[in-house]
Structure formats: structure tokens, C-alpha cells
């Protein structure tokens, strides 16, 4: 497998604390220095529910905001549910 076939995913969620996820979201731009496509999936993750006290059906606005921030930071690929 060559370098051109590698996509980076910082793994939002996946057993991290809400604080870890916020730090990753805040540091997404730093991953672009690695010059590989960056993939993020934040769709209604449980950390949003913990931070906001929101049920899954109420997390869409937060997921859209996090996705918009990710794209602004240079993320090229967004993974849905």
C-alpha cells in the first residue's frame, strides 16, 4: 500500500472522553500538515449528547455545526451514520 492510498481519521468518538473529542475537533487543521486526505465522522455522536444533555434526535444541529467547522479546518471527507 502506497502513501497515496492512506486517509487519516482522527477517530472522533471511539471511547474518548467528550473533552478529548473537543480537543481533536479543535486541532483538525494540524492534521492537514500531514498532506493526506482527512476524514471525520461526527454525526450525532454520543459525546454531543453528553455535552449538551441532548437525545440522539436533538443532536443534528450540533453535528451540522461540528461538520461545518471540520470542513472549514480542511477536512475533505465526511462520514455519515
Enzyme catalytic residues:
45, 79
**Residue at grid coordinates 451540522:** 64
Within the chain, where are the H helices? 18-26, 28-31, 46-52, 60-72
- In angstroms, how far is CA 71 from the centroid of its own chain? 10
Say what the alpha-carbon torsion angle 9, 11, 12, 13 is, to the nearest 10 degrees. 160
Amino acid at each position: 500500500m502506497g502513501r497515496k492510498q492512506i486517509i487519516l481519521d482522527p477517530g472522533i468518538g471511539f471511547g474518548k472522553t467528550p473533552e478529548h473529542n473537543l480537543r481533536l475537533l479543535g486541532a483538525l487543521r494540524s492534521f492537514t500538515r500531514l498532506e493526506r486526505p482527512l476524514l471525520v465522522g461526527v454525526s450525532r455522536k454520543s459525546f454531543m449528547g453528553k455535552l449538551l444533555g441532548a437525545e440522539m434526535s436533538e443532536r443534528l444541529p450540533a453535528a451540522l455545526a461540528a461538520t461545518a467547522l471540520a470542513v472549514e479546518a480542511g477536512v475533505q471527507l465526511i462520514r455519515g451514520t
